[in-house]
Structure 1
Amino acid sequence: MKKSGVLATLLPLVAADSDAANPQLRVAFHGDDGMMVSWNTFNHVPRPSVFWGKSKDHLTNIASSAVSVTYPTSTTYNNHVLIQGLKPDTTYYYLPAQLNEDTCYEPFNFTTSRRVGDKTPFSVAVVADLGTMGSEGLSTSAGKGVSSNNILRPGEKNTIDSLISSMPEYEFLWHVGDFAYADYWLKEEIQGYLPNTTVEEGYKVYESILNEFYNEMMPVTASRAYMVGPGNHEANCDNGGTTDKAHNITYGLSICMPGQTNFTGFKNHFRMPSDVSRGTGNFWYSWNSGMAHFIQLDTETDLGHGFIGPDEIGGTEGEGASPVNSKMNAQVNWLEADLKAVDRRKTPWVIVGGHRPWYLSYKNVTSTICWSCKDVFEPLFIKYDVDLVLTGHAHIYERQAPIAEGKIDPRELNNPTSPWYITNGAAGHYDGLDTLQSPRQQFSRFSLDTNNATYGWSKLTFHNSTHLTHEFVASNNNTVLDSATLYKSHKCEWLER
């Protein structure tokens, strides 16, 4: 694209680096008429700007902001610009002004969320625990101690490949925690997968893995809304729980650097629509699309895990921080208010996503099950008739029966009064899948773990106001290995108007 005089004045100088050709574009829904556009540059941008329009040949509108943020160890700045005044379910073309001058970019495009109450069927992709693929993450080889079941076979597609090839089949991507696994850098070095470096220089390896992840994801995230929530690997920097037995050292929080703690990168990289839904930062918020109301919850901060203080989660580590003063019950109070306000005549389906599960046939239950989450969230899910709860954290796939207070709903998927629970943390990262206990819990209905050596993602299809299908899509060949349909007798007056 030939730069106009205005465009040329808005473009900053950027460093000559291979990453400069990939601006890590990410878009996200922002209310009924907005879309947040985010991208990365090597330098601070005083006035991030996006040209946009309904035709790629006529980007006649411009949106700008003053948000260009970073943190001490980051190699890039995250720029965020909100485009408003958009029509629902409409495709727009856009191009950030501040991209690499040496690369000729064609305008990108996104499609806005469906009008609230739109009864047209649609599908959504959902992932958790999706890490970097390739030479710095999951590949056809691994370091010492990684099971042969947990590496890719030669020629096998990974989950990012699968999501890219399946893009026509879903309208947006929902990622419920654990992104690049950049904090695994030390484990990968100790196991001989990555070259050794000093701890002091470790942040460079961390940032390299992080940038590679967002580069790999860009074919999806530049055109499909990328809705996200926090996981433990955005905060606790456990380096994969690695122990160097030769030196009797366990590597963990003691060597974490800025960018690896307190959700720093997560807060900088994204701008979720919490201001529209009265939530908090990228941590808890909600949005609507068509016949569904989606809720992203935070299982990491104010429920006793101790990663950060509740007063810190609203701001960023970089410029433009907006601290939020919240109390320990802030999320629960918000959740009840949000659920109470849902108009089930327009959005009959209510879907909740959070990182940590509490119903699971997991082998290492103590370190995985979030009982505090169950204590505070489950009563509200039951009270307000939440339809489906999606989690990750355990690197397995398990579809459970609808459950309330530990009891299996006798109706199963035929109009249950209890929430349906599904855990899918099998998207794939450096050291792969985990092990489920045998025999499974009584509520288990279908499961896959390291013994099946299959990575995959979830696809939700909203057929109408009464039928919702969940599918586990195997990443290696895009086949469906598990499918189940929930029937709920939602009363939807809006469908008859």
Structure 2
Amino acid sequence: MRALNSLVLAVGLILPYLAIVASALPSVPHIVLPDNSWEPFQVRLAYAGSTGMHVSWNTYYPLEEPTVLYGFFPNALHFSASSTTSVTYPTSLTFNNHVKITGLEPDTVYYYRLVGSQEGEILSFRTGRVAGDKTPYSIAVVVDLGLIGPQGLSTSVGNGAANPLKPGETTTIESLLDNGDWDFLWHPGDIAYADYWLREEIQGFLPNTTIKEGYRVYESLLNQFYDEMSVITSIKPWMVGPGNHESNCDNGAAVDPAHNITYNVTICMPGQTNFTGFKHHFRMPSEESGGLGNFWYSFDHGMVHYVQFNTETDLGRGLVGPDEVNGTDGEYSGPFGEWRDEQIEWLEKDLMSVDRRKTPWVVAAGHRPWYVSAPICVPCQRAFEPLFTKYSVDLVLSGHNHLYERVAPMANNISDPKELNNPSFPWYITNGAAGHYDGLGAFTLPMKGYSREGFNTSYGWSRLVFHNCSHLAHEFVASGNGSVLDRATLFKGRECAGG
């Protein structure tokens, strides 16, 4: 009964918004209700262990029982999996549907179709590699990737923005598709940049609207981004983590200099604060790893143990001041754990339990960096670095700063004298250059002494190549032409059993 009441409430909240969608503002022209309002879109996948897969999609109206048909052949979808109901939140223009399929064979291609989709729309996915599989493979990593197109990163910018695309330039999304020989996409925060809607209006890039009606622009930008990502996320798992731009509708604290106004989270409508959209849109393998929602979790894939940690809230031991309690950046979000140190205690337990014989590599990702020639996250360093050093994490990835920088293996602000030749310290790489409306960022000069390579003139993404248990290559791929602007290989002195 509680679920039914929630569904009735959700429908009551969203129907008034759907009723006015057809007459939406000029800045949100793309929202047109389809003939079939239960038609799936924004399809996305995420691992649920090596024998499971989360399949998620959106619809304009709720489904009583979201269902996925699947099988080993496109013309033989003999199996099905369902969930109880669709979920939504106030001001959302859509409903989210999530189905977890379990009991699959690892490293196996399955074909699937969403009930409600047009006949013949059959997609496929490959399940995860079981822990201990020594087969070489690669993954793609993006951070700070926003909407690309006329209302986002494009060949023009507003007053005060910079780094537009060159005419005909290949975007990061296109580059990922063109270079798609990777197993999954990892996106540790800053997804869509819908919270830039007000900044884009102030800069004259989008038509002006009112604060009260701004929720439609925010949700429109969010939906446009999810739409354009679906060409990737419907066939490759999309593993995400929280960034500051998922927190609320105005995380950027938009400033209107003409009217001497600085906006903040108080302008946000219900449903557009406290990571609400992020919590509703994704399903990550937290249940399988003892984590918490989409905020922190881990999973094994072949010879690697992956850890997604949360730099935005729940920093526990890293917190020293009251201003840090409600989010790293004054986001007024969280905490989400039941106790102060829940994330930190989970992280230590997770790292402690890694079987390095099966998964010799441990790679962690969180949104904000602390080794970079730009502003750093000191609370993050206090919270996480001691554990990464103690448990010999091999590589730590981050973004937040809209640039690329590879640094030496580090611990306690000291670089490892062995550099990448069997270091004892974790290797840190920041790559927040995937691309969004606000362009690329600047280094704080002079560059830090631990810096080894940096770029802030090209949009790009990271490719990790796991050759075996001892060699891991990182490549910074320029989105514009697919060239590798930086390549480095980490060597660890381990014997690779079984090959």
Match of 1:95 in 2: 113
Structure 1 counterpart of 2:338: 326
1:259 maps to 271
1:84 is aligned to 2:97: no
Counterpart mapping for 1:12-27 below 5 A: 18=32, 20=34, 23-27=41-45
Structure 1 runs not aligned, ≥5 long: 1-13, 314-324
Shift, 1:204, TM fit:
0.6
Provide TM-score, normalisation by structure 2. Answer: 0.89
Question: Are 2:364 and 1:346 equivalent residues in the alignment?
Answer: no
Contact 1:234–1:260 at 8 Å: present in 2 too?
no
Residues 1:110 and 2:117 aligned together = no
* Aligned 8 A contact 2:198 2:250 in 1: no
Report SS of the residue matched to 1:24: strand
Q: State the Cα distance separating 1:311 from its structure 2 match.
A: 7.0
Paired residue for 2:14?
none
166, 173, 187: which one pairs with 1:160?
Answer: 173
Alignment partner of 1:126 is 2:141: yes
Pick aligned residue for 2:398 from 391, 396, 401? 391
Residue of 232, 235, 240 corresponding to 1:223: 235
C-alpha contact 1:188 1:194 (8 A) present in aligned 2:
yes
- Partner residue, 2:409: 402
Shift of 1:236: 4.1
What is aligned with 2:223? 211
**Partners of 2:332 and 2:161 in 1: how far apart?**
35
Could you report, residue by residue, the CA deviation over 1:444-491 in whole angstroms, capped at 9, with x for unpaired residues?
011011xx2x10000000000000000000000111000000001134
State the 1:106 CA deviation. 2.0
Q: In structure 1, which of residues 278, 289, 298 is the aligned counterpart of residue 290 of structure 2?
A: 278
2:68 to 43, 46, 50: 50
C-alpha change, 1:245 and 1:421, in structure 2 (3 Å) is same
Cα distance change of structure 1 residues 39 and 412 upon mapping to structure 2, 3 Å threshold: same
Cα deviation 1:73-123 (Å, max 9, x = unaligned): 000000000111111110000011133xxx444200000011211111000
Tell me the CA shift for residue 198 of structure 1. 1.2
Please state how far the C-alpha of 1:331 moved relative to its aligned partner. 0.6
Deviation at 1:259, TM superposition (A): 3.4
The 8 Å contact of residues 40 and 114 in structure 2, kept in 1 or not, is answered as no
**TM-aligned CA deviation for residue 24 of structure 1:** 0.3
Are the counterparts in 2 of residues 274 and 282 from structure 1 also a CA contact under 8 Å?
yes
In percent, how many aligned pairs have the same letter? 58
Give the Cα separation in 2 of the matches to 1:201 and 1:265. 18
What is aligned with 1:297?
A: 309
Which residue number corresponds to residue 326 of structure 2? 306
Q: Are 2:488 and 1:476 aligned? A: no
* 3-state DSSP of counterpart to 1:68: coil
Match of 2:155 among 140, 144, 166: 140
Say which is worse superposed, 15-24 or 285-294, in terms of deviation.
15-24
TM-aligned CA deviation for residue 208 of structure 1: 0.7
Partners of 2:429 and 2:314 in 1: CA distance: 23
**Alignment partners' CA distance in 1, 2:120 and 2:259:** 50
Task: Kindly indicate whether the alpha-carbon contact (under 8 Å) linking 2:302 and 2:359 is maintained by their aligned counterparts in 1.
Answer: yes
The whole-number CA distance in structure 2 between the counterparts of 1:310 and 1:137 is 25
Q: TM-score if structure 1 supplies the norm length? A: 0.89
Deviations 1:220-246 (A, max 9, x none): 100101000000001043353322122
Q: Which amino acid aligns with 1:410?
A: P
Q: Which amino acid aligns with 2:478?
A: A
- Which residue in the other structure is 1:485 paired with? 489
Aligned counterpart, 2:441:
434
Verify the 8 A CA contact 1:346 1:492 in the aligned structure 2.
no
1:202, 1:104 → 2: CA distance?
A: 37
Query: Does the CA-based 8 Å contact 1:239-1:251 persist in structure 2?
Result: no
The CA distance in 2 between the partners of 1:293 and 1:310, in whole Å, is 28
CA 1:18 to 1:491, structure 2 compared with 1: closer, same or farther past 3 Å?
farther
**Preserved contact between residue 403 and residue 421 of structure 1 (Cα < 8 Å):** yes
Aligned pair in 2 of structure 1 residues 26, 459: CA closer, same or farther (>3 Å)? same
Amino acid across the alignment from 1:346: K
**72-81 or 374-383: bigger deviation:** 374-383
8 Å CA contact 1:67, 1:81 repeated in 2: no
Shift of the alpha carbon at 1:302?
1.3
Can you list the C-alpha shifts for 1:185-244, whole angstroms capped at 9, x where unaligned?
011111111111111111110111000001110011001010000000010433533221
State how far apart, in whole Å, the 2-side matches of 1:194 and 1:310 are: 28
Give 1:410 shift: 0.2
Distance 1:108 1:382 in 2: 41
SS state at 1:32 partner: coil
What corresponds to 2:26 in structure 1?
A: none
Q: Is contact 1:185–1:239 with CA below 8 Å preserved after alignment?
A: no
Supply the AA of the counterpart residue of 2:326: G
| Counterpart selection for 1:190 from 192, 202, 206 | 202
CA contact 1:344–1:492 (8 Å) conserved in 2: no
Q: Does 1:70 align with 2:88?
A: yes
Deviations 1:248-301 (A, max 9, x none): 111221211233310001000011010000000000000010000000000011
For structure 2, list consecutive stretches of 5 or more residues without a partner in the other structure.
1-17, 23-30, 316-323
Matched, 1:360 2:333: no
Q: 1:195 to 1:372 in 2, by over 3 A?
A: same
Distance 1:19 1:432 in 2: 32
Cα distance change on mapping 1:133 and 1:305 into 2, 3 Å: farther
**Partner AA of 2:47 in structure 1:** F
Paired residues of 1:392 and 1:425 also in contact (CA < 8 A): yes
Whole-angstrom distance in 2 between the partners of 1:329 and 1:35: 29
Residue pair 1:130, 1:179 contacting (<8 A) in 2 also = yes
Offset of 1:312 from its aligned partner?
Answer: 6.1
Q: 1:138 and 1:95, CA in 2 relative to 1: closer, same or farther beyond 3 A?
A: same
Equivalent residue for 2:49, pick from 22, 31, 43: 31
Q: Secondary structure at the match of 2:389?
A: helix
